[in-house]
Chain A
Amino acid sequence: MTLVIDSLVKTFGTVRALDGVSFSVGPGEVFGFLGANGAGKTTTMRVCLDVLRPDSGSVTWNGVSNTELPRRTWGYLPEERGLYGKMRVLDQLVFFARLRGVAADAATRTVLEWLERFRIPDYRDRRAEELSKGNQQKIQFIAAILHDPDVLLMDEPFTGLDPVNVALLKDAFLEMRDRGKTLVFSTHQMDTVEELAESIAIVDRGRIVVAGPVREVRASTGRVFVHLAVAGDTELAWLADLPGVSVTRPGQDYTEMEVARDRDPETILREALDRGLRVTTFQIADPTIEQIFLEHVGPPPADERHLAAVAAVAAVAPAAPR
């Protein structure tokens, strides 16, 4: 019941979109897939769905090659949102479910349940084009899970939603996990990854640079960070005088600093107390996924051609106006 992605290589023209991507996700596991735009996330998902064939490498679920798997194994939420604009919501969700082998009446029942749950039951007879972007996204989410797929591939599922809808979707997401589904999602929101994913992979220019359980990935760097906040002072100018301490993120809520390996983080707390400050937050933390991401992927690569070319193929580049 494990999804195994093994050494995928895919070349578009001269561009290597995937260069040996491998990872595996077990049942009931949530896997976060991180990477800059055009890094190869969408291409990996398309290869899983057998929409694209890799040059080499394989995708298996439960030991069966994806070229032999029925399409209803997969639930897919594409990054490029799209519905049939002129079609009524109920009609088109039933249509998608029927394509995956769900009987029309069963599909109707499930659709109505989900619309109710997502607090949009009135939209069943509306045309999709009349809905707001966020609501269209919820409709697409329903389209991806209607047929009760075993593996869910979700490309940026929470992007562009308000907090209420993010919470609704996260609930549904976690429910899928609890039902034993295998979940793979990509995102740019690092806090979402830390909240939901048990394991992650960071992909950069077709290569996986870091992969593993979130806890291990965070601890693996050996870097130590401190979060500090005191009452009445958000500047904390005195930190600059401390040896081995460098502020990585000043903030109104708290200040984050990296502490050199040979320094004891508690000296910072002691120093604050010695200065008579009232400490409201003191936390010793591993680096966040965001820091790890920036460390590995870094600033935008100089090789922009790579990104642009892959982006065009990966269907994110809008058509040039005539």
Chain B
Amino acid sequence: MIRLRRTASAPASAPGSAPAPRSRPDAVPTRSGDRLFPNGAIVAQREYTQRVRSRTFVLGTIVLVALAFGAALIPVFTRVLDQQFSNKVAVYAAAAALPFDPLPLITTSLNGAGGGAGVAASPRPSASTGPAASPSTGVPANPEFTVTSVPDLEQARTDLRAGSYDGLIVISRTTSGDVRFEYLTDAAPDGRSAFYVRQAATAIALEDRLDRLSIPPTAQAELFAPVVFDVLPKDPNAPPKQSANDNISRSLTSNILVILIFITVITYGTWVATSVAEEKSSRVMELMLSAATPRQMLLGKVVGNGAAGLTQYFGILGAALVGIVLQGPLTALFVRGPTVEGASLAGLTPGVLAVFLVFFILAFALYSLVYAAAGSLVSRQEDVQQILTPLTFLSIAGYMAAIFGASDPTSTWVILLSYFPFTSPYVMLVRVIDGTVEPWEPLLAVVILVATIGLMLVVASRIYSAGVLLYGQRPTMRGLIAAARVRR
């Protein structure tokens, strides 16, 4: 095939050459049609602008950003909601029920001074003599719970029902002589206030029992001193094993990242397919085909919609990050008492993040090319979902493989799927997070993916150019294969 080069710069009257007369010197035939730029970029720019300006995008982004921000602040909300209950707690101790005043212990426990330490908290905070003694600096300046002692049980019950108190702790003795606690409240039985009250009750009961056994307070402190306990590996030279906690947060990390890829492929891939079907059903395709090649249109669509998807993503991520950053200050502002630590994402190292971004983009590119080809086969937008269903299953398969493979990342089928292009973005990512891969393994998966994307660009644009001129016909498998083989 002879390619005529642009000869506009050559002198028209060059001796020896006989240029044909032309109306416009710049209209010298050059086949620029197959070059991806600038037309691919122009198409991408249109796709991006139209997508970002569309009402569904704007509304969807607003909703998702709000949701992400809200989700990031959920810990703060639960704390705030939690402290709405049982702010005022009354304590009634039956006459001679206890040999000491339980009030300080309950107050400290309820306001979280010993929170997390559990029953190991010093039974008598006033007697901070031993190493086990909680460094209870007392109650914070604005305590979450105010604890008052009430002398009249019946009066207290009436006040409780009237709403003067949020909770009432009744201390008495069982017939066997042990201390007995009743906590009357509308708060959840397994909520925070009940948990703290139980802690306080346990501490009081223990102290009471020890008192009844006549063990002096100093001995009590020794009793609760922590035990010397170490976990050591079988082989003293082996690297330290990951903690169970670390493993859990590792699988949380891989789950979150795999879900992110999955959602991206499904959502933004559907955008690409819809955009193709839209052009087809509005018949603007006829005009487009005379202006740009199928490859330019395909690539433009994938890049444009992908960029729009990323824009939405960054909006959501940004909102979530702002929310997470605000967690601390907002908790301090609205919640009395100590702040809680959020779940940590162990294994989210910069390296893993980089691998994730690469697989994220490649997965989108691969799937959206297939989605675009699929979108070109239907005549109406309503049919898009139908034709996408098999492809969605393919994506779900990769996602499931990654989730299940995470528990056994060294088995053969997981390793095989971590190279297969349609599942490798999910499965290889999980293996990378697990940390059991050689550096060349993700690299090989990426090479295979990129090669598949290149091949898919050719196949998809052939199916696309056959599909976009097909109206009202059901595409057959045979027709598709024939279309994929036609050199256009």
Encode B39-57 as 1/0 by CB contact (under 8 A) with A. 1001100100010001000
A49 at the interface (CB under 8 A from B): yes
Contact A49 B290 (CB under 8 A): yes
Given known pairs A68-B31, A313-B469, the reply for A83 and B21 (CB within 8 Å) is: no
Number of interchain pairs (Cβ within 8 Å): 115
A33 at the interface (CB under 8 A from B): no
A193 at the interface (CB under 8 A from B): no
Contact A73 B27 (CB under 8 A): yes
B20 at the interface (CB under 8 A from A): yes
Closest chain A CB from B110 CB (angstroms): 59
Residues of B within 8 A of A64 (CB): 4, 29
CA distance A50 to B293 in the complex (A): 10
Residues of A within 8 A of B3 (CB): 68
Residues of B within 8 A of A319 (CB): 379-380, 471-472
A76 at the interface (CB under 8 A from B): yes
Contact B472 A318 (CB under 8 A): yes
Encode A47-85 as 1/0 by CB contact (under 8 A) with B. 001111100000000111001111111101011111111
Contact segment of A96-104, A211-219, A245-253: A96-104
CA distance A1 to B31 in the complex (A): 18
Residues of A within 8 A of B243 (CB): none
A118 at the interface (CB under 8 A from B): no
B343 at the interface (CB under 8 A from A): no
**Chain B residue total in the interface (Cβ 8 A):** 44
Partner of A86, one of B23, B38, B54: B54
Partner of A68, one of B20, B24, B29, B42: B29
Encode B275-317 as 1/0 by CB contact (under 8 A) with A. 0000100111111111111000000000000000000000000
CA distance A320 to B471 in the complex (A): 10
**Chain A residue total in the interface (Cβ 8 A):** 49
Given known pairs A51-B290, A68-B31, A100-B291, the reply for A320 and B46 (CB within 8 Å) is: no
Given known pairs A84-B50, A86-B50, A87-B50, the reply for A315 and B27 (CB within 8 Å) is: no
Partner of B32, one of A70, A148, A318, A320: A70
A97's nearest neighbour on chain B, judged by CB, is B291
B13 at the interface (CB under 8 A from A): no
Partner of A99, one of B30, B42, B469, B488: B42
Residues of A within 8 A of B279 (CB): 82, 84
A143 at the interface (CB under 8 A from B): yes
Partner of B30, one of A70, A85, A86: A70
Contact B472 A52 (CB under 8 A): no
B43's nearest neighbour on chain A, judged by CB, is A99
A13's nearest neighbour on chain B, judged by CB, is B479
Partner of B287, one of A50, A62, A82, A86: A82
Contact A74 B290 (CB under 8 A): yes
B300's nearest neighbour on chain A, judged by CB, is A99
CA distance A81 to B43 in the complex (A): 20
CA distance A59 to B4 in the complex (A): 16
- Tell me the chain A residues, 305-322 only, with Cβ under 8 Å from chain B: 312-313, 315-320
Residues of B within 8 A of A101 (CB): 32
CA distance A1 to B22 in the complex (A): 7
Given known pairs A71-B33, A150-B27, the reply for A312 and B473 (CB within 8 Å) is: yes
Residues of B within 8 A of A44 (CB): none
Closest chain B CB from A197 CB (angstroms): 21
A143's nearest neighbour on chain B, judged by CB, is B287
A104's nearest neighbour on chain B, judged by CB, is B42
A20 at the interface (CB under 8 A from B): no
Could you name 8 residue pairs across A and B whose Cβ atoms are closer than 8 Å?
Answer: A51-B289, A71-B33, A81-B283, A82-B282, A84-B279, A96-B287, A96-B291, A318-B472
**List of 4 A-B pairs having minimum Cβ-Cβ separation, nearest first:** A82-B283, A78-B286, A82-B284, A76-B290
